[in-house]
Structure formats: C-alpha cells, structure tokens
Structure 1
Amino acid sequence: MVSAEETLPLVIALHRLLRGLRRASGDGATPPTQLIVLGLLTQHGPMRIGELAVRIPCSQPTATAVVATMRQNGLVSRAPDPNDGRGVYVAPTEEGLRTLRSVARGEAEVLAELLATVPPEDRTAVLDAAPVFLALADRTAPSP
C-alpha cells in the first residue's frame, strides 16, 4: 500500500510541471477546463453536458457555461440527442481539435527540451510512465 504522504511530493511536482509547461509553451488563451473538455470529447466521443460535468468534474451549470463559451469560440458543436428531445450532444469541431493538438504539441515541445537535460535513464523512466499515468487518469474520472 502506498500512503498519501509518499505520493504528496509527486502530486505537487506534477502540478508544478503541468503549470510550467503551460506557461512556457506560451498558450494562455485556452482555459484549462476547455482543454479538459476537448480532451474528453476526443478520447470518448460526443457527450451530453451532464456526462462532461461528471468527467471534468464540475457542476452541470459550470459545464453548460464552459460549453457555451466554447461553442461561441467555434471549438465545439451541439447536436440534438436523437433519443431525448431535451438533451444535446457536444462534439469537438475541427477548430477544437486543432486547438487541442496545438496546445498539446507546444507543451510536448517544452517537455522534450526539459527531458533532454536529464540523464537518459531518467528520461526513459518518465516516458515509460506515460501509460501508467493515462490509466490512473482514466480511473479518477467516474463513468457517467
């Protein structure tokens, strides 16, 4: 069993690293919640706003406001739920996909530069951990 005390330094380091990558990549235009929405829609396909709220996680009114802003900015589209006339599905637009790829590429370039400064065995360990982190990220988000 791993304790919270043992994982705390990793959590802090990950927060600092991600914030630093974002800052160094120069993309401050796309809010983090919008990037999370685009990532979820890309990974899981179109979703209802309630599903997004659960996966983000945030309240449904917050998810609704985020999606409305994203729609105004051309990042997502909405389509009626064929099984429920009151519901809508949200999907990324081509512009949304381009935005997500651009931000991720910029952060990946910064991370590649940083990894070039550490010993090869450390670089390998970090890169080999990517599938583990992805699996852990998927486990933290409850399925709707």
Structure 2
Amino acid sequence: MDALCAALGVSVGEVEDVVANGSKQRYELADGHIRARYGHSLPGHVEMPPADPPPVLFHGTGAGSVEAILRDGLHAGGRQWVHLSPSPETARAVGARHGRPVVLTVDARAAAADGAVFHRGNDDTWLTDDLAPRYLRRP
C-alpha cells in the first residue's frame, strides 16, 4: 500500500475511499495490500466464498461470438472466471464493449443444481467456472 500511495502521490485514505466507494467494487484491501477482487492476472482462483445465484443471470457478448458460445459454452479465457450480470441491462453494456451487443440468458439455477459454484464479485458481477451450452439461451 505504501509503495502504491508513493507512486501515485495519494494518501492511504484516498486509496481506501476508492476501494470502498468505487463504482465497480473491483478492489479489496487485505493485510495492508490492495488487490483486484477477481485476480485477473494471478494464476489460480482468488479465494471467494460461494454464493447462491439468482435463478437467472445474463452474459453480454458481441454478436460475432454468439454462435461459438451457444455451441461450446462460456469459458473464462484469459480471466479466472466467467463473468455474468444480474440484469440484461448490465449485460448489454458489457456486450457493447465487443461490438453489437447480444445478451444471453443463463439458467443459473440449473447450473448450480448440477454442481456449478457461483461467487458474488460485486453488485453487478457474478463469477463461475466454465458453463456448458445447455445453460445458455438467446432471449
């Protein structure tokens, strides 16, 4: 934390404020260190407690990826987790980053019943491992 504050020219309090009040809740403080909650750049999974997902979640993607996703399922790719959204609006905003957005519906209830483990990343993000195509559909 000290090295980060020195490099950015900010106080510990300012960093703590960003962590506590950042719009996407991407960071957390632990033992005087700051880290990304999802651990994008670390090997293996960041420890997060499992959570019961809502019955339906959403995945936003670009139109060019839809057929492959519906055929092969969702995969974390370069991330540690598959990222899902609690609302179609949030998923649409995510999908818009990848071209013309398409929102897929995820049957989280069925996936969880079949053993998929979900984690609450923040208010706008649910995380899980790869999901088979049988849990996905176009709305």
TM-score (normalizing by structure 1): 0.27
Structure number having the greater helix percentage = 1
What is the TM-score with the length of structure 2 in the denominator? 0.28
